[in-house]
Amino acid sequence: AKKIKIAIDGPAGSGKSTIAEKLANILKINYLNSGALYRIIGYYLNEQKMDPKDSKNIENILEKLNIEIKNNRYFLDGVDVTTTIKDSKIGDLASLYSQNNIVRKKVNEIIKQIAEKVSIVVDGRDIGTVVLPDSDIKIYLTASLEERAKRRWNEEKGEEANISFNDILEEIKSRDYNDSNRSIAPLKPARDAIIIDTTNLSIEEVLQKILKIVEESG
């Protein structure tokens, strides 16, 4: 069968990881979460106390870094960090270090290597615009700021009882700002992306819309 590449981009809390993983399962193809790669690297560089602007030393460190992905689990030097990196503080580290072009190059290489070999759904901020511009299908998911904060709050309040809705809203707002206004690979829909506003849609409804797009694309 023909290989297929599906890019799903969008801001924090737009539901892209949930949708992308489910879509990949339904289509029985691979799923790659590019945000997880930025999170792993952000986490590691922070542990090493690296200055986010110190490209020379970052390059040396990244050359030796060993990231593996097996069954949707992410491993750093052999250790499963899938759960660790979900923390919102690590999301902030990812956002910080992802502004360095050496970091972006490393992540993009990993994604391209995998996408060359297998059919895949990749989610992120710049997949349709920069990393895999030749994707067969490009989806840009979005939702109102309030709705995205609400989703994150529902996810996180179980784990961190002392986090307020307003904290999360402010966090998402500043993440949006950083991701959309950075000079390299800013968050924006590709010219040929299909934009889906998920504010008033359930996960199931979004999935059905995308499956229809996949079907119609042949």
Binding residues for ATP: 10-18
Residue 112 tokens read as: 């391209």
Which candidate, 164, 146, 41, 136, places its Cα nearest to that of 91? 41
Q: What is the largest CA-CA distance in the chain?
A: 50
Candidates 31-39, 68-76, 143-151, 188-196 — which segment interacts with ligand C5P by CB under 6 A? 31-39
- Restricting to residues 162-181, name those near ligand C5P by CB under 6 A: 175, 179
Distance of CA 43 to the CA centre of its chain: 15
Given 6, 7, 8, 12, the residue binding ligand C5P (CB under 6 A): 12
Candidates 52-60, 76-84, 90-98, 155-163 — which segment interacts with ligand C5P by CB under 6 A? 90-98
d(CA 5, CA 26): 14
Instruction: List residues forming the annotated binding site.
Output: 10-18
- Asked whether position 5 contacts ligand C5P by CB under 6 A, the answer is no
Tokens 């060359």, located at residue: 116
d(CA 119, CA 135): 11
Q: Is 12 within 8 Å of 175 (Cβ atoms)? A: yes
- Asked whether position 128 contacts ligand C5P by CB under 6 A, the answer is no
Given 5, 22, 106, 125, the residue binding ligand C5P (CB under 6 A): 125
- Asked whether position 91 contacts ligand C5P by CB under 6 A, the answer is yes
- Asked whether position 98 contacts ligand C5P by CB under 6 A, the answer is yes
Q: Is 123 within 8 Å of 17 (Cβ atoms)? A: yes
- Asked whether position 139 contacts ligand C5P by CB under 6 A, the answer is no
Binding residues for ligand C5P, per CB under 6 A? 12, 34-35, 38-39, 91, 94-95, 98, 124-127, 175, 179
